Every structure is written in structure tokens, then in C-alpha cells.
Chains A and B, each alone.
Chain A
């Protein structure tokens, strides 16, 4: 309880602090919707290069091997990881005021963990539940009006922003019940290696699902770093606004100026 209180307080403090800090930037951002500064570009590019090296030696080959596994195994693993992530999604649904979603996701978690055997089978979806949407503390900070801050590339973890990295930090401050149970919890069933294992598997699952699109993007990009940065920031912007596709697209006045016919 104390931890939840501290987490909520940190979220609130960050929200008010950063909003107060970015008043000047908000009027600027109307001009260039969604523009995020790359304050540490030199360092970011170096870290990106390091991550790329690591990816080609470790993650990509392992992800390719993972893809050889039968589809049912991969789907089951993905389902179980999604199920585990709902432990972070639910408190964020509440913090964002989405109480109905929090209720649905709690029911989904209970149903999938029990009937669906630790989430391997997504029985909730078969029972007609709405599609699961992940939420995290970075998104919650975003909905509270916290700007993204500078763009960051973290070693191993990849693209982020100051806000999203802060959000991830909240997980280890007590915001992630799975972290609390496996690392802080004094129980004989769970340990640190289980937590780290699920995090590595989540990364691997993502990498395996996106092998073709990442390869395609790499092949067709003239500045791969800039493409990845743009896609990451667009994706976060979409997730914070919970946009359903492009019918509520980001307004870009530049399109209106262009005459070609």
C-alpha cells in the first residue's frame, strides 16, 4: 500500500513539475506536432550502434531460432507474457481513470491465469472480451500531461524518452506487482531469475514477431537511427492518445500546403 502511494505521488509530482516546465514548449509544439528533441544525439547514436551490434550477434539469431518453434508454442508464450503485463496495465488503467477497462482487465487476468493455465490460452478473448491493450507508467504520465522530454536510446532496452524511462523506473519502485513478487517477495517459488527471464522473453517475442519488418526497414532506410526514432515516437504518441488507427490522425498542416496537381 505504501509503495502504491509513493508511486502515485511520484506520478503526480512529475506531472505537475514537467507540465509547469514545458509551458513555453507547448505553444511551440502546435507548430510541429509531436516534435521531440534529441538532446543527446551523439551518445544516442553510439548506443544505437552498440545495440545494433548486440542485436546482430545475439538477439536476431536467437529470435530467428525462436521463430522455428511451432506456432502454438509461440502464441502460447506471447499470451502468457501479455497476461503477466496486465499486472502493470491494470494499475495504469486506474491511474488514467479508466475504471471499466481496469475491471475488464482484472477479469481477463483472473480468467486467463486460472482457466487459461498461467495465461498460455487467451480464453478471455474466446469468451468475447475486447482486444487487450497494454498500458504502462510512461503512457500514464503522458495522459497526465507530462511531455516526453528528450529522446533516449538505452543500452539493450532500445528507444525511449525521459518520460518513458521514468515510467519504467516506477515499475521497479513497486509499480509492477510481478517485480515485487519475484524480486522483493520473500517466497520460495519465485526469484529474480524468473523476473529477468520473462523480461528477456518479452524482448525476444517482440524481436521475433518483427523480424521481417525490421529487416525491411533496415534495408530501405538511409538513416536507420532516424527511422527507428520516428516510428518509436509516433507509436508512443498513438498509445498515449489510445488512437484507434488513423481516423483520428495527428494533424499535420504541412499536407494542406502541398499542391502537386
Chain B
């Protein structure tokens, strides 16, 4: 037991320091993500290359599955497991297409992270500014970062000048389902149509 105690202490110290080394601060994570996106959007790439690069970045840094569940709202509780799987698959394709096509229009966007605020252990809001150009004024962008796993933070929402993209998408999906008498398959068909 006496021999074991120093070893256990050593192990705990190592584990603690390791977890500290690998935890990534939300603001550093956002800044590095926007730097990667900025590089992908630089004019040295064609539009197709930009889209491909943006899709890769989004797959690694955005919680597409989580956003998909949020976007489905209360409907996620009333559909079957099979439908959930089908939705996850459709949503991922929809998200990557819509996200990359939205961003590909910009060239060399300059984003500066300004501050962060921890909401709770699961979420940190990171504030940033899209620097103004001749064409448009400065835009305030806030990022909802899911920090449950501090080693692998993920983006869950973008709030542009106070307008949440995830919330807009959630209300859009809900509207599609409601206009079709609550039929989730109508949403699936619309998603399939969009992905084409």
C-alpha cells in the first residue's frame, strides 16, 4: 500500500496535467476555426475547391448532429429510431451544402474574436467581429460553443447581429412540417430536393 500511494499520486498528477494540456479554450478554438475558413476562402482556390475545404472544416468543428436534433425541435421525440437515422443522414448533407454555399460567396473575410462568456459547463459564447469593408458595415457574430468535452469543443450556433441561424432553421423546418399536417416525411422530401 505504501508503495502504491506515491505511484497513485503520480498517476493523478499526470492525468490532471494531461487533461489540462488537451483542453482547448473556446475562444482559441473559434479563432483557429475562422482562420482556417479564411484561408479556404482566399482567392487562390476555385469555388468548388472552396466548398470542398469548407465542408471539411465544418465536419471537424461543427456539431452537425447536435444542430440537427435542435432543429427538429419536439418532433425528435415523436419519430421512430429509423426515421431519426434517416434524418441524421439527410440533415448532414443538407447542412454541409447550405453552409458551404452560404460562405463560399465571401472572399477573405476577416474575423476577430473579442471576448467569451461561459454560460454553463456545456456552453461558452464567443463574441467576434466581422471587420467592415467598402461594401458592408462591421458585423457582430457570436458563436455558441458546446464545451461538454473540453478536449473537443464544437460549434452549435452562429448568432449574427443577434439573429440565431439555428433558431431560424428550426422555425423553417417546423413550418414545413406544420404546413404538411405534421408529416415528417414532407420534411425529408424537401431536404432530399434541396440536396440534389
B22 to chain A, nearest CB (A): 15
> What is the bound-complex CA distance between A225 and B171, given in angstroms?
11
Partner-binding segment picked from A132-140, A199-207, A212-220: A212-220
B79 to chain A, nearest CB (A): 15
Q: What string of 1s and 0s marks CB contacts (under 8 Å) between B129-160 and chain A?
A: 00000101000101010101100101011010
Contacts of A225 in B (CB 8 A): 175
Interface residue B39 (Cβ < 8 Å from any Cβ of A): no
- Out of A222, A254, A258, A260, which one reaches B194, CB within 8 Å? A222
Contacts of A254 in B (CB 8 A): 70, 73
> What is the bound-complex CA distance between A210 and B9, given in angstroms?
60
Determine if A255 and B70 form an interchain contact, defined as CB atoms under 8 angstroms apart. yes
> What is the bound-complex CA distance between A113 and B162, given in angstroms?
31
- Out of A234, A238, A246, A250, which one reaches B127, CB within 8 Å? A246
Determine if A238 and B162 form an interchain contact, defined as CB atoms under 8 angstroms apart. yes
- Out of A209, A212, A219, A249, which one reaches B125, CB within 8 Å? A249
B175 to chain A, nearest CB (A): 3
Determine if B159 and A260 form an interchain contact, defined as CB atoms under 8 angstroms apart. no
> What is the bound-complex CA distance between A132 and B167, given in angstroms?
27
B44 to chain A, nearest CB (A): 22
A79 to chain B, nearest CB (A): 12
Determine if A260 and B66 form an interchain contact, defined as CB atoms under 8 angstroms apart. yes
Determine if B163 and A223 form an interchain contact, defined as CB atoms under 8 angstroms apart. no
Contacts of A216 in B (CB 8 A): 102, 105
Contacts of A16 in B (CB 8 A): none
Contacts of B66 in A (CB 8 A): 258-260
Determine if B176 and A245 form an interchain contact, defined as CB atoms under 8 angstroms apart. no
Interface residue A226 (Cβ < 8 Å from any Cβ of B): yes
Contacts of B164 in A (CB 8 A): 234, 246, 249-250
Interface residue A256 (Cβ < 8 Å from any Cβ of B): yes
Classify chain B: how many residues form its interface, as a range. Answer: 35 or more
- Out of A220, A226, A235, A250, which one reaches B171, CB within 8 Å? A226
- Out of B73, B134, B140, B157, which one reaches A71, CB within 8 Å? B134
Interface residue B98 (Cβ < 8 Å from any Cβ of A): yes
Contacts of B194 in A (CB 8 A): 222
Interface residue B38 (Cβ < 8 Å from any Cβ of A): no
Closest to A78 in B: B137
- Out of B144, B159, B193, which one reaches A255, CB within 8 Å? B144
Interface residue B190 (Cβ < 8 Å from any Cβ of A): yes
Determine if A234 and B163 form an interchain contact, defined as CB atoms under 8 angstroms apart. yes
> What is the bound-complex CA distance between A226 and B180, given in angstroms?
14
Closest to B123 in A: A255
Interface residue A231 (Cβ < 8 Å from any Cβ of B): yes
Interface residue A194 (Cβ < 8 Å from any Cβ of B): no
Interface residue B36 (Cβ < 8 Å from any Cβ of A): no
Interface residue A247 (Cβ < 8 Å from any Cβ of B): yes
Determine if A234 and B156 form an interchain contact, defined as CB atoms under 8 angstroms apart. no
Knowing A71-B134, A219-B101, A222-B176, the reply to whether A230 touches B167 (Cβ < 8 A) is: yes
Residues on B facing A (Cβ under 8 Å): 63, 65-66, 69-70, 73, 98, 101-102, 105, 117, 122-123, 125, 127, 134, 136, 140, 142, 144, 146, 148-149, 152, 154, 156-157, 159, 161-164, 167-168, 171-172, 174-176, 179, 190-191, 193-194
Given A229-B171, A238-B162, A246-B159, 12 more contacts at CB 8 Å?
A209-B136, A216-B102, A219-B101, A220-B102, A223-B175, A223-B179, A226-B172, A234-B162, A238-B163, A247-B125, A250-B167, A260-B63
